[in-house]
Chain A
Amino acid sequence: MFLTRLLKPTVTASAHCDLPCGVYDPEQARIEAESCYKIIEKYNASNDEQFKTRAIVIKEKQAELAKHHIDVLWSDYFKPEHVQKYPEITELCWKAAKQCSKVKGSLDLGEARTLLDMIDKIADVWTKAGGPQATRVQKAVAARA
């Protein structure tokens, strides 16, 4: 046990290979970002210190999840041909991921709004790049009715 602990690597490197399910949708990131937005609203409206502490903890978690989903879209969904056709996507994802960090550490509703707008811009590119057809499983007609 001691030996295992001693030998265990202290630095982690990603080989970044995965077996992707192929389902990518910016909506995942948006829902987490919406959570952050609503939590900040509730935080500002509350006088309950315990609730406010919990709100901060949960918001930080949701912001991290939003960042994760943006990162997955960027590194796994968007391919060189997308970047060639929509070169703005690299900066959009990069800035949105950074905005997630801002929202994580902030209680400013404006920052959360900015993040939502950034994710919507990523979603526009995702839609133009054929994302809905390429990555989502379509609903059965009966389920839609």
Chain B
Amino acid sequence: MEPTLRAGDWIVVSQLPRGPKVGEIVLVRDPRDPNRLMLKRVAAVADGSCTVLGDRPEESTDSRTFGPVPLPNVLGRAVFRYGPIGRIGWLWRAPFVT
């Protein structure tokens, strides 16, 4: 998810009262290992599942590898980075470029 997110970032994730929207960064369970949580950007939502991609497609492991993520495994939306101090800020939905 670089350059948006970097290793060691402290992120606030809020629960989603509604379905995820394209462009949002969401916290999902890895379909291959439900114990592993991942932050990815929503590329599409259809038929009860969500296609997620990394911001650097050439180096990301995402729905192209593990397929769409069922909506119950989308746990929340990344809204705010509160650390490190120099990178504090909102994680607003970015226009998704395909």
From A8, A9, A75, contact of B65 by CB (8 A): A75
Whether A7 pairs with B38 at a CB distance below 8 angstroms is no
Q: For chain B, which range describes its interface: under 10, 10 to 19, 20 to 34, or 35 or more residues?
A: 20 to 34
Whether B10 pairs with A8 at a CB distance below 8 angstroms is yes
In whole angstroms, how far apart are the Cα atoms of A75 and B38 in the complex? 13
Q: Mark the stretch among A15-23, A40-48, A50-58, A116-124 that contacts chain B.
A: A15-23
In whole angstroms, how far apart are the Cα atoms of A78 and B61 in the complex? 10
From A8, A15, A83, contact of B2 by CB (8 A): A15
- Is A130 in the interface zone, CB < 8 Å from B? no
- Is A133 in the interface zone, CB < 8 Å from B? no
Total of A-B residue pairs, C-beta within 8 Å: 56
Chain B residues whose CB sits within 8 angstroms of the CB of A78 once the complex forms:
65
Whether B38 pairs with A17 at a CB distance below 8 angstroms is no
- Is A76 in the interface zone, CB < 8 Å from B? yes
A→B interface (CB under 8 Å): 7-9, 11-20, 75-76, 78-80, 83, 94
Query: A11-B37, A15-B38 provided; 16 other pairs, C-beta below 8 A?
Result: A7-B10, A7-B83, A8-B10, A13-B38, A15-B39, A15-B54, A16-B1, A16-B38, A16-B60, A17-B1, A17-B5, A17-B54, A17-B55, A20-B59, A79-B65, A83-B65
Pull 30 A–B residue pairs with CB atoms less than 8 Å apart, ordered by A.
Answer: A7-B10, A9-B10, A9-B11, A12-B37, A13-B13, A14-B30, A14-B36, A14-B37, A14-B39, A15-B1, A15-B5, A15-B6, A15-B38, A15-B40, A15-B54, A16-B38, A16-B40, A16-B54, A16-B60, A16-B61, A16-B62, A17-B1, A17-B54, A17-B59, A18-B59, A20-B59, A75-B65, A76-B61, A80-B64, A83-B65
